[in-house]
């Protein structure tokens, strides 16, 4: 029973659960935003849904709708999640490296002063 309790209380499990909850909520936001963009595309081109498009009897309309939705989704995820995350990660990594370098310099100074004295 202790092993099961340790498993449940492990930080990774909580982080994964929070990530899944946020992802589900973000999925709903992206889905509705995609619907808004598709309706704007519909105002420009006459229809936001290409499902009925069948050139030569081949049902390619659903595929076109899915591709347009995917491109919109990929754009949103890349520019509103991936890019800000990368920028934040680089900023924190640079701050961490600067702190590490300062610590190393300070430790070297202490070492050198101890060796002299």
pLDDT tens digit sequence for 20-70: 888 888 888 878 887 888 788 778 877 667 778 788 888 888 888 888 888
pTM, full prediction: 0.50
Residues 90 and 85: their CA atoms lie apart, in Å, by: 9
Lookup: tokens for 100:
């590490």
Angle between helix 11-45 and helix 2-9 axes, rounded to 10 deg: 40
50 burial via Cβ count (<10 Å: 0-12, 13-18, 19+): buried
Whole-number average pLDDT of the chain: 80
pLDDT at 101 over 70: yes
Best CA proximity match to 14, nearest among 26, 3, 22, 2: 22
pLDDT at 108 over 80: yes
């Amino acid at each position: 029973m202790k092993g099961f309790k340790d498993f449940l209380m492990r930080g990774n499990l909580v982080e994964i659960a929070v990530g899944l909850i946020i992802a589900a909520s973000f999925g709903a936001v992206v889905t509705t935003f995609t619907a808004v963009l598709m309706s704007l595309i519909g105002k420009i081109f006459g229809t936001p849904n290409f499902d009925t498009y069948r050139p030569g009897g081949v049902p390619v309309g659903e595929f076109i709708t899915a591709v347009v939705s995917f491109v919109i989704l990929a754009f949103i995820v890349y520019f509103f999640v991936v890019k800000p995350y990368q920028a934040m990660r680089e900023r924190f990594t640079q701050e961490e490296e600067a702190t590490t370098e300062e610590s190393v310099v300070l430790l070297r100074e202490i070492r050198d002063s101890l060796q002299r004295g």
